[in-house]
Structure 1
Amino acid sequence: MSPNKIHSSRNLLFWTLLLGLSAIQYGCGHAAATENQANQAIPLPVITVSNTSRTVYQEYPAALEGRVNVEIRPQVSGYLTQIYVDEGAYVQKGQQLFRIDDRMYNEQLQQSHAALNAAKANVQKAQVELDRLTPLVESKVISPIQLKTAKEEYAAAKAMEAQAQAGVSNARINLGYTLITAPVSGYIGRIPYKLGSLVAQGAQLPLTVLSDVKEMYAYFSLSEKAFMAFQNKYPGKTIEEKISNLPPVELVLADNSVYAQKGKMSMVEGQFDKTVGAIALRAAFPNEAGTLRTGNTGRIRVAEAMSDVLIVPQESTFEIQDKVFVFTLDNANKAISKPISVSGKTAHYYYVSKGLTAGEKIVYSGIGNLHDGTLIAPQRFPLDSLLKAREL
């Protein structure tokens, strides 16, 4: 091999070794930088959870109805000739509401009276014939068969009289149906019919709906799981006893204000709705001022006194597949995700029954990008100050 070729080979080997050493040094430096970056602690606020005793509230969506909601429907057909009330008016029991044209029903009553008078005349005629034949049969002047026939004719006349009397009563009832009065005291709902409208028994729309709202019923539902928890939570051998031991409940209105008067649980439905897997309950609220109306919505709030529970701010939690988690700190200040069981909540806090113990430290905020093993530089955040600054 010539000297020039040997020299070129040595130069190539030298530069190859130099590039390799540079790559090794860069890789080691980059790995060290990455490791230093991973070990760099992130400063985040941290709170220490502790036991407390609080009154918590469970809320359930509710629909309100008056104690009595009566659909006013016509019992006879005819044209509306009078509407005595207006929509939204308060009426007393027995007050006149509607009148249906009664001319046809007056005629029917007159015809029924005429038929009754004719039936009474036939009874009298049959009675006279019976009275005439009775002594003749006793004297054996005529055959007894004639008296028997007269008695049957008299019985038939009496039956026709009873039928005519029933016709009069039925016609009088139909005539009475032409004047519709309020069966209960309450508020008039919408009136879809106007003067001159033809109404009939069995029509799709009622004349109106009359609501007695002196006492309101708020209906809400519990899932099967929540209902079982309810059964285990309150004393009593039967559901009725458990309901009677419930504290008064509150009604939160649509504007988030709390209704002034508290209600009482009064009923639980006999079975679960298979379609939604829930059972309906009812709470009764006094409503003498008429503030609440049928169709209102709100939320039933059930209070529960809890002792020795842990309070966790909601911003300290995150959810994965319907489970609630927090990031706790181990002895090396590394973040560890941990699931918790929530026994109640307020607008800002969760009450934890399982998953945490008093004295544990959790990351208060800034948990969006955390993962298990992240090193935290704890910034102490006093939970007591947070509780004082924010209502539970």
Structure 2
Amino acid sequence: MNTISALCNRFSKLAFGALLGSFLLLPGCGKKQDEQKQMTPALPVMKVQLSPASVSSEYSVRLEGLADAEIRPQVDGMLQAILVREGEKVKKGQPLFRIDDSAYREQYNTALAAQRAAEAQAAVARVNAEKLLPLVENKVIAPVQLTTAKAQEAAARAQAAQAAASARSAAINLDYTVVKAPVAGYIGRIPFRQGNLLTRNQAQALTTVSDVGKMYAVFSISEAGFATFKKVYPGETLQQKIDAVPPVKLTLSDGTVYNHDGKLESISGGFDASTGSIGLRVAFLNPEGFLRSGNSGTVSLSSSYDKVILVPQSATVELQDKVLVTLLTAGNKVAKRVITVAGRSEENYIVSDGLKPGDVIVTAGIEKLQDGMVIKPMPAAPPIQTPNAR
């Protein structure tokens, strides 16, 4: 009995030890399983597909009026009166400044008197020649006397014409003493004051008159951008492609969008040799007069694509001058892939190279992924298709 009891006690101790060991091993097994789960992260993925998109390219612009006329004096003299105010809207031909005209008025009066005297002498010469004509016909005097009289008449007429030209020149100078607006528009800054001495060769203009009823947004694109422009818009000729450009939006320097759309009107005839760019001009109507010459902003040229690959910008990383996505390959392994971005929107990149329809990319948590890592793919939301891309 003692032997049997001893054996039972020993068996009980061994069983208890084994049971205790199994309980001690359980936490270790759970920890390893958790580590394995952490090593295989669950990340969202999406399948690349073709989608329609509208791309908008933005360019910085400088605004110019339909006409920006510098007003300069055509005669020398003292500024006698300023007839307009800065910022005032004026009509074509409206007087802006008046220069002291006393000297020019006397010059005109003198020239006009000389013209009248010369015309009187020409009239006398004509009468003298006419009187000799019957005498020559009746052979009372020699024909040479009539020839001489006609020559004197011609000289008198020439002197009268010269005097008339001098009078007209004096009248023009007198008229220049009132400086008028060459175009309708708005008066710019006036740096001169009454009593200042003006000269026709002075460097500084009296003011400027800007016709802002129609404004031009002027900007440049690169040679590569011009090549893209010709591919994107339909048409057999460059003018047809210009006409195919949709209405252009103007965003002012304060971020507000101008309430009138513009129209691309022209592209300059050649590239600038120093910058390698070519100029474009967009016209905007300005009925309220809100725009002024010298304003700056950005214009957006839109173009539409039927089938392009859209990738969320959050699914990409930038490395130096390259944009990369994380591609899901066989066995749920990941690999970095360089893509070419043709345009962008607020949410998406438009990819022209590096991906094809059917490829699967990781859309989040890609910063710490390395090539060859295994992930657990999860479905992700498709890219947002915004109508305005850049």
TM-score band (shorter)?
0.7 to 0.9
Give the match for residue 69 of structure 2: 70
Shift in alpha-carbon separation, 1:159–1:193, aligned structure 2, 3 A: same
Give the match for residue 113 of structure 1: 112
Deviations 1:184-216 (A, max 9, x none): 221111112221222222332221111111111
SS at match of 1:194: coil
Q: Is the 8 A contact 1:78 1:101 kept in 2?
A: yes
Give the match for residue 139 of structure 1: 138
Q: Tell me the CA shift for residue 112 of structure 1.
A: 0.5
Give the match for residue 304 of structure 1: 303
Relative to structure 2, which stretch is displaced further, 115-124 or 165-174?
A: 115-124
Q: Tell me the CA shift for residue 60 of structure 1.
A: 1.4
Q: Tell me the CA shift for residue 321 of structure 1.
A: 5.6
Shift in alpha-carbon separation, 1:196–1:376, aligned structure 2, 3 A: farther
Give the match for residue 212 of structure 2: 213
Q: Is the 8 A contact 1:248 1:263 kept in 2?
A: yes
SS at match of 1:383: coil
Relative to structure 2, which stretch is displaced further, 71-80 or 123-132?
A: 123-132
Say whether 1:182 aligns with 2:181: yes
1:246 and 1:135 map into 2 onto residues whose CA distance is 81
Deviations 1:331-379 (A, max 9, x none): 2444422121222112342111221134434344555565544x25357
Counterparts of 1:84-163 in structure 2, within 5 Å, are: 84-163=83-162
Structure 1 length normalisation: TM-score? 0.81
Q: Is the 8 A contact 1:44 1:366 kept in 2?
A: no
Gaps of 5+ in 1: 1-36
Q: Is the 8 A contact 2:48 2:361 kept in 1?
A: no
Deviations 1:230-275 (A, max 9, x none): 1122221111111112211111221222212211111111111111
Fraction of identical pairs, as percent: 44
Gaps of 5+ in 2: 1-34
Give the match for residue 251 of structure 2: 252
1:42 and 1:202 map into 2 onto residues whose CA distance is 81
Counterpart amino acid of residue 357 in structure 1: K
Shift in alpha-carbon separation, 1:213–1:144, aligned structure 2, 3 A: same
Counterpart amino acid of residue 48 in structure 1: M
Shift in alpha-carbon separation, 1:387–1:128, aligned structure 2, 3 A: closer
Relative to structure 2, which stretch is displaced further, 105-114 or 358-367?
A: 358-367
2:123 and 2:95 map into 1 onto residues whose CA distance is 42
Aligned residues: 352
Structure 2 length normalisation: TM-score? 0.82
SS at match of 2:165: helix
CA-atom RMSD, angstroms? 2.7
Shift in alpha-carbon separation, 1:156–1:388, aligned structure 2, 3 A: closer
Q: Is the 8 A contact 2:363 2:380 kept in 1?
A: no
Give the match for residue 270 of structure 1: 269
Give the match for residue 382 of structure 1: 380
Q: Tell me the CA shift for residue 142 of structure 1.
A: 2.9
Q: Tell me the CA shift for residue 97 of structure 1.
A: 0.9
Give the match for residue 50 of structure 1: 48
Shift in alpha-carbon separation, 1:300–1:327, aligned structure 2, 3 A: same
Q: Tell me the CA shift for residue 67 of structure 1.
A: 1.6
Counterpart amino acid of residue 65 in structure 2: G
